Chains A and B, each alone.
Chain A
Amino acid sequence: MAMIEISGLKKNYTSGEGTVEALRGLDISIEAGEFITIMGQSGSGKSTLLSVLGGMNHPSSGEVEMDGVKLYLLNGEKLADFRAQKLGFVFQSFHLIPYLTAIENVMLPLAIVAMKSDAKKEAARRALERVGLGAKLDRLPNQLSGGEQERVAIARAIVNNPQILLADEPTGNLDSKTSEDVMTLFRELNDAGQTVVMVTHNPDNGRYADRTITLRDGMVVQ
């Protein structure tokens, strides 16, 4: 059974100029442990698809089923719980909380989990070591380079061992060398069993993935 099953997914936005069809009936199936990159030009619907997959953007029609759960049949709070338990997010601009240290940022998803403080700290420390930042636990985000911030963001996404990792342009703000390091890291995480769905502009990133889905005007073209 597929880890993610998308069927007949449509998403329309209404603006002053009329209705914009961001996603036009997508049918996608992603197996557990797959590394998928979603590519396409700006406005192709990549980020919309990722937000729908993340349970944060109700589709206009169609269904999204993840790990056997029909996502949009859950109410808002249950959806939040689902995100907390099953999903990890990596954002393009990292979105680290500026007043929290690296380890505190990584511990954020655990702030709402009933765990002992030491266990939380240990989990965060292990996640940071896994992304190669074990020596910079107490740095604030503004004391870290772009690549290091990206790694902290990845550590935050994996600290609670989510089944699915969603990443939106994780290399968009990084130089090519750092981008390669980050993609290698995603590959390693995927090799360790994590399902990765990554939105990216960069065709080079496709070589790290098992499969690339290309969108154009809200439809799968490849």
Chain B
Amino acid sequence: MKLHTISINNLKRRKAKMAFLTIGLMVGIATIVSLVTLTRSMSSDIEKKMDEFGANILITPSSNALSMNYGGISLGGVAFDQREILEKDLAQIKTIANHMNVSAVAPKVLGGVKVGNHDVMLVGVNFDSELKMKQWWQIFGEAPKADNELLIGSDASKILNVGPGDSVNIKGEEFKVSGVLDQTGSQDDALVFVALKKAQQMLGKEGRITLAEVAALCSGCPIGDMVTQIAEKLPDAKVSAVQQVVEGRLKTLDQFKRFSYAIAGVVVFIGSLVVFVTMMGSVNERTVEIGVFRAIGFRKSHIMRIILLEAALVSILAGVLGYAVGMGGAGLALPFMAESRSAHLVWDATIAFGSVGLALALGLLASLYPAQHASRMDPTEALRAL
């Protein structure tokens, strides 16, 4: 017989009350676990999309030109003091403080060429980094492997009337069309892609590039900071973030997160009140019992230990159940809330231990006053009840 025997036996005897207490706290914990896991899973989903869907930093030559295009219609522009980016300068990107967040750097050189009777935009790319960045590209045929192979956009393929395996003559050189891009709905549909070195040579821009796209791994990457760091390394370039859309989504998610936490806070508060009221009721019901304990020599600290141990046991159970129910709830809700079908639940040990810890802290906190109240009870109450 130890003090915990009293606590455990009391819990066993008052099953309904203890179940009520456990459920009260469990609902609070489950709500928190559910909301936190949902927001984390949705954030992770969006961040994954950012990684998959290409560049989030654009490096272009610095100039004093004013853009004269709107809605896809370009009226040209007046550029002066146009500077150039040298391909070798891009190596500087690997030296920035956040270089670990750089997933891929895709340099490009652009220039107009004649293919048959048509003017087309020739884009020199590094196919390895380009394909890594544009994972949504679907190629009929194969990606170019040699300098005399090219990849062609779907619209360009139709206009030039060429397909995989056909030959195309550009500036007197024969190129084999190794693959045709499936319709992307973007400017890529009208372009002809060749290896960077070849394009630089054909366009007379050896060692120079027109622009570079940078993909940063977005799990916690500070895009704004990275833009500043790259701009410092490349003073002749204009570095800008292209993440407005995703940022908008993240902002919405942030609002949802804050809303979720507020809801969770209210639910936890109510759960704590349930614990407080139930423990207080339990203590008042046990007035005579506590009086007997005191009469036979239990100290105040012994009474507090009995009450707090009961609260701790119930809280731990509520924490474990709350975590399980919360994860289950999040698992059911995630497919309806995340846009991506591939979104998956984020399992985090911190949340598991955190939910048990939080339940324990709340349970003990809410039971502290009832425990003190019990320990301060006048033992003569037991005798008066005779």
Contacts and interface: CB of A to CB of B under 8 A. Distances in A.
Interface string A83-103: 111011101110101111000
A111 B1 contact: yes
A57 interface: yes
Query: How would you classify the secondary structure of chain B's contact residues: helix, strand, loop or mixed?
Result: helix
Interface string B292-335: 11111111111000000000000000000000000000000000
Q: Is the interface of A mostly helix, strand, loop or mixed?
A: helix
Given A99-B13, A110-B1, A111-B5, A168 B299 contact: no
Contact of B295 (A54, A107, A120, A121): A54
Contacts of A47: 383-384, 386
Interface string A16-52: 0000000000000000000000000000000100110
Given A77-B300, A89-B296, A50 B383 contact: yes
A70 B268 CA distance: 50
B6 interface: yes
B273 interface: no
A181 B128 CA distance: 99
A117 B1 contact: yes
B297 A85 contact: yes
Interface in A134-187: 156, 168-169
A76 B386 contact: no
A83 B1 contact: no
B19 to A, nearest CB: 16
A56 B386 contact: no
Interface in B1-55: 1-3, 5-6, 9-10, 12-14
Contacts, number: 95
B382 interface: yes
B385 A112 contact: no
A104 B10 CA distance: 12
A76 B6 contact: no
Nearest to B295: A89
A169 B386 contact: yes
Contacts of B378: 56
Interface of A: 47, 50-51, 54, 56-57, 76-77, 80-85, 87-89, 91-93, 95, 97-100, 104, 107-112, 117, 120-121, 124, 156, 168-169
Given A56-B380, A84-B297, A108-B6, 11 more contacts: A51-B380, A56-B379, A77-B299, A83-B296, A92-B386, A95-B288, A104-B5, A104-B9, A107-B1, A111-B298, A168-B383
